[in-house]
Amino acid sequence: TVPPGPRIAITAVTQPLPTQPQYTLVDQPLLRDGLRARSNGRIEVTLASHGERNLGGAEIIRLVRAGQAEIGAGTLTTLSGDVPILDGIDLSGLAPDIRLARRIADAMTPVANRDLERFGVRILAMYPFPAQVLFCRAPFTSLADLRGRRIRTFGNSLVDFYTALGAQPVSIGFPEVYSALERGVVDCAITGSGSGAAARWPEVSTHISDLPVSWAVAAYVVNLAWYNRLEPAVRALVDDTFREMSDRLWQLGADATRDGIDCNIGNREGCRIHNLAARPMTEVKATDADRAETRRIFEQVVLPGFVRRCGARCGEIYNQVIAPLSGVRFGG
Amino acid sequence: MIALVLLLALLGVVAFAAASGAAALPVGEILMLIGVFVVVFGSGVYVGAVLGLLAFLIGFLFSDRPWWNFAGQTLWGPSSNYVLVAVPLFLLMGEILLRAGLSERLYRALNVWLNRLPGGVLHTNIVSCAVFSAISGSSVATAATMGSVALPYFQNTAYSQRWVLGSLAAGGALGNLIPPGITFIIYGLMTETSVGALYIAALLPSLLVTGLFLLLIFGHGLRHPLPKAPPLPLSVKLRALTDLTPTVLLILLVLGSIYAGWATPTEAAALGVTGAMAFAAFERRLNLRMLHASAEATARNTALLGLIIFGAYLLNYILTSINVPQATARLIAELPLPPWAIMLCIIALYFALGTFMEGFSMIITTVPVVFPIVVALGYDPIWFGVVVTMMVEIAQISPPDGTVMYVLQGMRPRAGPISDVFIGVMPFLLAYLAAVLLLLVFPEIALWLPRAMS
Amino acid sequence: MLATAALLRRGVSALAALLAWLAGWNYVACALFVTADILGRNLLGVSSAATVEVTGYMLACGIAWALAHTLAVRAHIRVDMLVNRLPVAMRAPLHLVSLLLLGGFAAFIAWAAWELVDESALFDAHDNSALRIPLVVPQGIWAIGLSAFVLMCAVLLLESLLALLLGQPRRLDELLGSRSLQDETAEALEAVGATPGPKA
Ligand code: NA
Ligand code: NA
């Protein structure tokens, strides 16, 4: 229901790789093709992945802010270097299930936007990747077994989390993780269950945990000046599209989490989105003790670490917005 | 300049496609830009500045975005990329080995065995570069190190300067193909392919390329015979082999640390530097002055590349933001052709891009688009990694823009025009391309060894 | 006046050399740092958890801090097949044109770098490593190196322009032209231990 008018060209730089299901199942059909169809061809979206634009992912907010793209997307942990409050939405051990993760993300979006609008950008929607789980090249049965292992992590809250377990966080670029696992440079690495399947990690690791440590929550950001200049009808269409994408992506996150594990452990029936592993892995089911330990570490180590990095204001925001949902308060 | 003609021909194809409505590329302006490019290049401008100027022109002509607002990030990103740290580390290792006398010993030991062949010391250039490549993962470092050893050998000799420079550039272009290699690390990084498997797959193709180079020199030697060095007794030749021991030890340290799981391929470069320092200490050549000279030379050569990379990445940012590599790659993928013909087009695309693009930025921006196409066509990711690496090596020795050639030009003992390097490298460039085509026809050259070993 | 400009250029060159030495030793330090990290991880079970970020900064700053010195020793690559065949009188102004272009490019890079530092300061940006390094620190060090490069371009431009105006094109050619036979030979011979190879 967009009235006729001049053509609107939009550049959107979204997922890290063009092969990711978030890109092929949501960005391409809804953002690119959907906007064009529903605007009767007025909106033309040029879609690109980070890789195609030679971007690392941490600079997405600056990219959108500088007017190089109208829309960008990136994971909050990666973006938190520029906007620390974003890290609080996806702390390690914060959300044991994806429903809670979504409620936290939805509650925090307006809060995060207060910070972001100072920089001329705004979040239109948040969405998850499959649960971030541990891939190891040697057997383990519980979190306690990870003591002393070298674990490839990224971002501060994961470093805090595994350090608290007595493991040794190792800093290696994502691209090198495959060979690092293959050669034993690291013992374990953490990534999305489905991302590990896509990256063929089952070829180089044997055991996969089903305990979601975090969700790699990501956000679509828009250039605020551009967004405010849009015709009301077009802006409404963009808002609707992102609401629909967000629903689709949270559903995809839930489906892809189990699907990724099923693909990695060679369960053919459950494996529909990713590729079935040629060498099935062993699934390590989390025990109640593991879940309790995760919560303890979150409360005692990860959350205080986040507030230390982000500042006292972040602790207050956490207690106001997230604590009622998660049931864990900062500072007791 | 052959490459430039091919580039123009390819642009002709793009123009044709654009005229038939397949893509909306502003062809006339592109051709004009290439004209400006050629003229400016002729008048002696700094390479980095030319690339930057080209980026400005294209940016102001074709981009409707304030791209300059993002230039700081565009330049900061790649220049602080940890994968590229391997470049100065491999350069530093080369400088230390040069001053510790290892490169010289390597060159002399091989020369004893090779200098009586038709083509003489030119063979030593290739083989010593090939052996050095097994320690060093950077083509520029290989060309710089072996070039500084080899070039003085050819002062006041009857050898053709063009063949000397051409063979060293070609030998340098083995640096990435023979494991270890930075290109494989980057490719493995982007496609999540095992760098170890890529290294193994590259072994036979690198032997093939080396063999073709030696054949070429052999042929040249037969047509232009030079007086032979006096023959040496076998005992002397065998004793010369002991000079290869330190090289072999370093190869074991760098490659062994990767396969033993101690270090990532990027980190192995740092182990190489430490190993080189240990070797120099053993030779009693390690001292502050020597280390200082190595550090200074490394800083200079990295900065020389850095300036070019600044220009290249700025240009690359503008090109990708107006979708040139992506549009071209998609255009090629959608051609109604059998897979092998599309692959041939992809190779031609890399060749054309490689004439004026810097190798790293070329693969970083095209692989995300091209890789899914290649996999969909049914090609093996490992095989394609080897082909891409060969295309990057070809890019480094294809005029007018090629870092290996620039580094060699920068260290010539007798000043001369850079066209000596450009012309000298041509036969080797064609041989390299022939090897790529062989690999296209017989993919087993790359795939047999990894399969046999797993 | 030309003498003053030359003195100024020599002073800046000395500063540039100092910066380049630091850049070079920074690579030595980088190699030792990574080696220590490898050994620590494999033998002692400790790792810096910031190797990726810190070595990246070392590369960026190493490049930036050595740019000016590389220009002072005329090691930046030019495509000079045409220009070197021209008589000095024509060559000199072309040198000046190419230096002017380089100076413009350098100024743009330095401006972009300081803008980036500004933006990082606005964001109060930190990296994601365990050390949480404020980005203004490495980016500021980087921008300082790039500014030194602009300064080097500027003093060279000043001296070249004066030389051209005072009718001394040969002096300009010596400042900017390709490095002479003697420079290069001396350097190559020094590096390989001062033994010119056998005439094989
Ligand atoms: Na190599
Ligand atoms: Na080239």
Q: In this complex, do A68 and B258 lie within 8 Å of one another by their Cβ atoms?
A: no
Confidence tier at C34 by pLDDT (50, 70, 90): very high
Contacts of A81 (CB under 8 A, 6+ apart): A58, C125, C126, C127, C128, C135
Has residue C53 been placed in a domain?
A: yes
Q: Which of B82, B101, B400 sits opposite C52 (nearest CB)?
A: B82
CA atoms within 13 A on the CB side of A244: 14
- pLDDT for the residue B321: 85
For the cut 90, the answer to whether the pLDDT of residue B95 exceeds it is no
- pLDDT for the residue B152: 79
Compare all CA atoms of chain B with the CA of A54 and give the residue at the minimum distance.
B365
Has residue C193 been placed in a domain?
A: no
SS3 A279: coil
Has residue C186 been placed in a domain?
A: no
A279 or B114, greater pLDDT: A279
Q: How far apart are the first and last CA of chain A?
A: 51
- B/e letters for A223-254, b = 16+ CB within 10 Å, e = fewer, are bbebbeebeeebeebbeebbeebbebbbebbb
Q: Per mean pLDDT, which range of A286-290, B107-111, B227-231 is the poorest?
A: B227-231
- pLDDT for the residue B2: 35
For the cut 90, the answer to whether the pLDDT of residue B402 exceeds it is no
A156 or C86, greater pLDDT: A156
Q: In this complex, do A168 and C41 lie within 8 Å of one another by their Cβ atoms?
A: yes
Report the alpha-carbon distance of residue B14 to residue C57 in Å, rounded.
40
- pLDDT for the residue A173: 65
Q: In this complex, do B104 and C192 lie within 8 Å of one another by their Cβ atoms?
A: yes
Contacts of B442 (CB under 8 A, 6+ apart): none
B149-189 pLDDT, tens per residue?
888 778 778 888 889 999 999 999 998 898 887 788 778 76
Confidence tier at B360 by pLDDT (50, 70, 90): low
B302 or B402, greater pLDDT: B302
Which range marks the domain in which residue C123 is found?
Answer: 2-76+83-177
A134-156 pLDDT, tens per residue?
999 999 998 889 988 989 887 88
> pTM to 2 decimals?
0.82
Which residues are close to ligand 2, an ion, with C-beta < 5 A? B 354-355, 395, 398, 401-402
Residues C24-50 have a mean pLDDT of: 87
Interface confidence, given as ipTM, is 0.85
- pLDDT for the residue B206: 93
Report the amino acid identity of residue C120: S
- pLDDT for the residue C193: 52
Report the alpha-carbon distance of residue B414 to residue B404 in Å, rounded.
18
Report the alpha-carbon distance of residue C156 to residue C161 in Å, rounded.
8
- Ligand 1 center to B136 CA (angstroms): 5
Cβ proximity of B100 and B284 under 8 Å:
no
Host H or E run for residue A136: strand A132-136
Residues B285-313 have a mean pLDDT of: 88
Count of structural domains, chain C: 1
C123-176 pLDDT, tens per residue?
888 887 778 889 999 999 999 999 999 999 999 999 999 988 888 888 888 778
Contacts of C128 (CB under 8 A, 6+ apart): A58, A77, A78, A80, A81, A154, A155, A156, C53
- B/e letters for B101-125, b = 16+ CB within 10 Å, e = fewer, are bbbbbbbbbbbbbbbebbbbbbbbb
- Ligand 2 center to B4 CA (angstroms): 10
Cβ proximity of B440 and B383 under 8 Å:
no
Nearest alpha carbon to residue A294 among A131, A76, A80, A122:
A131
Token couple for C109 = 């890079």
CA atoms within 13 A on the CB side of C51: 30
Q: Environment class of residue C4 by beta-carbon count within 10 Å: exposed (0-12), middle (13-18) or buried (19+)?
A: exposed
Report the amino acid identity of residue A52: E
Host H or E run for residue A133: strand A132-136
Has residue C198 been placed in a domain?
A: no
What long-range pairs does B222-229 form, CB within 8 A, spacing at least 24? Answer: B222/B118, B222/B119, B224/B160, B225/B118, B226/B120, B226/B158, B226/B159, B228/B115, B228/B116, B228/B120, B229/B115, B229/B116, B229/B120, B229/C200
Total beta-carbon pairs less than 8 A apart between chain A and chain C: 55
A78 or B11, greater pLDDT: A78
Confidence tier at B22 by pLDDT (50, 70, 90): very low
Query: What is the rounded average pLDDT for all residues in chain A?
Result: 89
B340 or A175, greater pLDDT: B340
In chain B, % of residues over pLDDT 70: 87
B46-81 pLDDT, tens per residue?
878 888 888 888 888 888 888 898 999 989 987 888
- pLDDT for the residue B187: 82
- pLDDT for the residue C74: 84
Q: In this complex, do C128 and A77 lie within 8 Å of one another by their Cβ atoms?
A: yes
Q: In this complex, do C30 and B295 lie within 8 Å of one another by their Cβ atoms?
A: no
Q: Per mean pLDDT, which range of B65-79, B205-219, B246-260, B282-296 is the poorest?
A: B246-260
A235-269 pLDDT, tens per residue?
999 999 999 999 999 999 999 999 999 999 998 88
Residues A187-216 have a mean pLDDT of: 89
- Residue A152 phi, psi (nearest 5): -75, 120
- pLDDT for the residue C192: 53
Cβ proximity of B177 and B209 under 8 Å:
yes
Q: In this complex, do C24 and B297 lie within 8 Å of one another by their Cβ atoms?
A: yes
Question: Residue holding tokens 């095989």?
Answer: B383
C106-115 pLDDT, tens per residue?
999 999 999 9
Cβ proximity of B396 and B181 under 8 Å:
no
Confidence tier at B355 by pLDDT (50, 70, 90): confident
Report the alpha-carbon distance of residue C128 to residue B173 in Å, rounded.
36
- Ligand 1 center to B130 CA (angstroms): 8
Contacts of A149 (CB under 8 A, 6+ apart): A136, A138, A140, A167, A168, A187, A188
- Ligand 1 center to B314 CA (angstroms): 28
Report the alpha-carbon distance of residue B87 to residue B97 in Å, rounded.
15
